[in-house]
Chains A and B, each alone.
Chain A
Amino acid sequence: MARLVVDPITRIEGHLRIEAQLSGGKISEAWASGTAFRGLEMILKGRDPRDAWLFTQRICSVCTMVHGLASVRSVENALGVTPPPLANIIRNILMAYQYVQDHTIHFYHLHALDWVDITSALNADPAATAGLAQSISDWPGNSAQRFKAVQDKLKAFVASGKLGPFANGYWGHPAYKLPPEANLMAVSHYLEALDWQREIIKAHAVLGGKNPVLQTFLVGGMAIPVDANSPSALNVEKLTLLTSLAAKAQEFVEKVYIPDLLAVASFYKDWAGIGGGDGNYMSCGDLALDPSGDPKSYAFPAGIILGRDLSKIVPFSQEKVAEYISRSWYRYGGGDAQGLHPWKGETDPVYSGPKPPYEELDVAAKYTWSKAPRYDGLPMEVGPLARMLVGYASGVKRIRELVDMTLGKLNVPATALFSTLGRTAARGIETLYAAELLPQLIGQLTEAIKSGDTKIHAGEKAWDPEQWPKQAQGVGLHEAPRGTLGHWVVIKDTKIANYQAVVPTTWNASPRDAAGKPGPYEAALVGTPIADPDRPVEILRTIHSFDPCIACAVHVMDASGRRVVNVEVS
């Protein structure tokens, strides 16, 4: 059977290509290819480590801030610097808002159209839509008038003959199962979420000057001054704004996102048996509820689950991370079959794919710009599902309650979690969990300000290169919205000698490794039914359930690279 190619995979960050082999109406084999490369880590070589976060933050601005945080943590780790508690609290608040906003945008604006047929909403009865919506939530936007207005707007839009970003969607595909009223409800909330997201993320502007691309991290602390008695610092007026935005964030997640998620999922329970993959899940742990940063207080605990076995948590250790390039467009000095720990990482890009324009990749050879990270030799799925499973298996009370509530409302067993639907549901659960943390974190900030604490930076030890060790290496770990993120830095004579980032989507979008073992996307796609190869909405469902970020996955190039460009075109 002919190769199925989907390129570009849209409604993601970055450039991703999926090639798949079909057999009997199902995918028998799949290959994921990241098709863009920038070389940020090479650009970092020789630069001031205090600047690194501003560079790495531009790895991706959908997951904005996460590469800034991981970067300053790596340099702090190398220099032996501990940020003050106040800085940790501010970082945690930024992190929690990022989870809430980023996940919600993913659900409505990147993922929903895989499940929601926008054209079917034209046939809905607005009054019946209100009946449906009001039966699951008392959100004030769920009125018949509102749904009628949205439908009228949609009708006028369609009548204009200009469908813009909605043209050529897979509308009417038999895989769309929602009734017209559920579709209209979702379209209305799609539009409301567009407004909501830009409102609540003002919290990032308060603490970081702007969003996207915050400008507030510092090696050793944060740049936002704190002082209850100054109009130019984080004061009570700004605290009040943070509190009000947190309330709006939580309300929307409780009254719109979660009810929509459960309503949509109830029509797609077959997807609880599709897209599971290998079943290895990893979290490095993050968001210490103790402002000192104590890992024992992580809201998202660390650990690894192997082969879907929730009865056992394997401890996480960054030493066991290694990257392989045997199927990626790079070369290792010691041979392409070995795996290298990021402190020893090498990246020597050697493009050996077909010269563009091309129709198909040679998937028997190297076929992507993404490397293949492995943990103790195994591929790992990272992200909200991994975190919720690790939290569940670790016995975190609120995570257990939310997961059990979701399973109960959908009336599915726990095994349903290991699937495309499970991944999408876990993201929603995690959004609510993070939204519920916000008042607690803002409370910590309030207490700190009340106590007169204004220390946002560690001082000279972090900022005076004369006090730095001659040579040092560090690691900065962070659970970003899309999963486990690590930055590894080597500093020599106050400059960056090596820098490596192993990011969530590198884990999830990784190609086969030296042993031929597929990465998580590739494994998850196997067995996925494809009703119509010309309109492969099923591939989008599973790939989008991971929330890909390809600019993150392929940023790679180590600073010790000897060769900049060495092209071998086959």
Chain B
Amino acid sequence: MASSQTSPPLDDGPKVGGLSRRQFMKWCSVITAALALPVKYNQRIANALTSADRPPVVWLEFQDCTGDSEAFLRSSHPTPAEVILDLISLNYHETLMAPAGKAAEKSLHDTITSAKGKYLVVVEGSIPLAADGAYCTIAGRSAVEILKEVAADAAAIVAVGTCAAYGGLPAAAPNPTNAVGVRDIIKNKPILNLAGCAVNGLNITATIAHFLTFGALPAADDEGRPLFAYGALIHDNCPRRGWFDTGRFVQEWGDQGHRDGWCLYKMGCKGPKSHNNCPQIGFNDNTSWPIGAGHPCIACSEPGFWDGSTPFYAWMGEKHLPAFANPEKKQAPLGLALGAAGAAAFAGVGAGAMAWQKKQQARTAPESEQSPSGEGR
């Protein structure tokens, strides 16, 4: 068996935080790119990330599945070990911290009393308001009480995952525990929503890097999501967009189109209404992403997606389709846009699509365009 090491050796020449200078500058440039900043910011980020002053971070978990913590553990630049040892002081994180019980609560108490106004709060999971908060307690205290206390002297709050941002899965209809997101409770602090189910770990570390470099949270959209990650629709950056525009759609799981990487729109893909940078940065070191692995997008970074994007495998209807990909609309003549050869090539596709649409309409009505329900109310 080949002997290999998954981590860079620590004894490899001059280094910053366990990385060689070259490796370090490389991931600074990746962060710069992830944050959509000009290249000249590389050095500024590098300076911020090598500062000895690791700011305290409190990571609270409430009604969660730990998916966002796991996503953080999959982040690649910086790696979780680098974040924990070199960049921040992760004083409270139930899944990772050594102490338990009273000793763990001491870590929390020490941080919020000794670093007033300086600590960053990360929240994972929704907060239930029903039953006096009894649907989520830690050390005998309700999630809502803990959040209010910890938020009071925080510098800023980052809600990781769609549950902490908007209520997410527990808030899906009928929202049995009256679960809400951080923004529904905390009104007087800067809050950034790193939506996603789970969030991409790289967006967490890029946000931390932004905070360390500029001392503030990045600019956000109307839903509180940073523009560097959520500023564009998945559909607009999808590598399969060409297939969409030319009317080549997967019709059945495992058919030739599916194997050839055609558009998943008719299998229920919600890319046209999803804001996220999945197509650009991928997951797990850009190994893949859901559409790349043949499954439709489920719009997991949108508020209310558990109600607003289900049934997940129902298509969004023909209104998003380009006219020539939708022969039943009989709009622009095919030849006009494509020329004779192109039109001939698509004729077969169009006929197949028509047959498929009839079948599909019999099975599932197009997903309703209802507004999200049950979230954050």
Beyond A5-B101, A7-B139, A230-B259, whether A168 also contacts B70 by CB under 8 A is: no
Beyond A40-B169, A210-B288, whether A54 also contacts B312 by CB under 8 A is: yes
B261 proximity list for chain A (CB < 8 A): 230-233
Complex partner residue of A165 from B93, B260, B312, CB under 8 angstroms:
B93
Q: Roughly how many angstroms separate A408 CA and B134 CA in the complex, as a whole number?
A: 49
* Chain A nearest CB, measured from B283 CB (Å): 4
B20 proximity list for chain A (CB < 8 A): none
Complex partner residue of A221 from B9, B89, B254, B288, CB under 8 angstroms:
B254
Q: Are A6 and B100 in contact (CB under 8 A)?
A: yes
Q: Are A567 and B132 in contact (CB under 8 A)?
A: yes
* Per-position binary interface string of chain A over residues 125-163, scored 1 when its CB falls under 8 Å from any chain B CB and 0 otherwise: 000000000000010110101101110010001001011
Q: Which of B73, B97, B284 has the most CB of A within 10 A?
A: B284
Complex interface residues of chain B between 1 and 30 (CB less than 8 A to chain A) = 1-7, 9-11, 18
B312 proximity list for chain A (CB < 8 A): 48, 50-51, 54
Which of A265-273, A319-327, A348-356, A423-431 faces chain B? A348-356
Interface check A39, CB cutoff 8 A: yes
Q: Are B259 and A232 in contact (CB under 8 A)?
A: yes
B11 proximity list for chain A (CB < 8 A): 143, 145-146, 148-149
B292 proximity list for chain A (CB < 8 A): 209, 232
Interface size on B, residues (CB 8 A): 110
Which of B78-86, B185-193, B223-231 faces chain A? B78-86
Q: Are B174 and A169 in contact (CB under 8 A)?
A: no
Beyond A196-B6, A197-B73, A565-B176, whether A227 also contacts B294 by CB under 8 A is: no
Q: Roughly how many angstroms separate A358 CA and B137 CA in the complex, as a whole number?
A: 10
* Chain B nearest CB, measured from A2 CB (Å): 13
* Per-position binary interface string of chain B over residues 49-83, scored 1 when its CB falls under 8 Å from any chain A CB and 0 otherwise: 00010101000011111111011011110011100
Interface check A250, CB cutoff 8 A: yes
Q: Are A13 and B6 in contact (CB under 8 A)?
A: no
Q: Roughly how many angstroms separate A50 CA and B253 CA in the complex, as a whole number?
A: 14
Q: Are A141 and B5 in contact (CB under 8 A)?
A: yes
* Chain A nearest CB, measured from B155 CB (Å): 16
Q: Roughly how many angstroms separate A9 CA and B252 CA in the complex, as a whole number?
A: 47
B260 proximity list for chain A (CB < 8 A): 227, 230, 232-233
* Per-position binary interface string of chain B over residues 98-121, scored 1 when its CB falls under 8 Å from any chain A CB and 0 otherwise: 111111101100100000000000
Interface check A390, CB cutoff 8 A: no
Q: Roughly how many angstroms separate A37 CA and B259 CA in the complex, as a whole number?
A: 41
Q: Are B10 and A150 in contact (CB under 8 A)?
A: yes
**Chain A interface size range:** 35 or more
Interface check A336, CB cutoff 8 A: no
* Chain A nearest CB, measured from B202 CB (Å): 11
Q: Roughly how many angstroms separate A408 CA and B75 CA in the complex, as a whole number?
A: 39
Q: Are B1 and A250 in contact (CB under 8 A)?
A: yes
Q: Which of A50, A105, A143 has the most CB of B within 10 A?
A: A50
* Chain A nearest CB, measured from B183 CB (Å): 19
Measured CB to CB, the nearest residue on chain A to B133 is: A356
Q: Roughly how many angstroms separate A225 CA and B313 CA in the complex, as a whole number?
A: 17
Measured CB to CB, the nearest residue on chain B to A211 is: B284
Beyond A51-B313, A224-B293, whether A8 also contacts B253 by CB under 8 A is: no
Interface check A333, CB cutoff 8 A: no
- Residues on A facing B (Cβ under 8 Å): 5-15, 17, 35-40, 42-43, 47-48, 50-51, 54-55, 58-62, 64, 105, 109-110, 113, 118, 138, 140-141, 143, 145-146, 148-150, 153, 157, 160, 162-170, 191-192, 194-202, 204-213, 215-216, 218, 220-221, 223-227, 230-233, 247-248, 250-252, 349, 351, 353, 355-359, 454-457, 459, 463-466, 534-536, 540, 551, 557, 564-565, 567, 569
For this complex, 10 residue pairs linking A to B, each with C-beta atoms less than 8 Å apart, are A38-B63, A43-B169, A58-B67, A153-B18, A200-B6, A213-B197, A215-B295, A216-B294, A250-B1, A359-B140
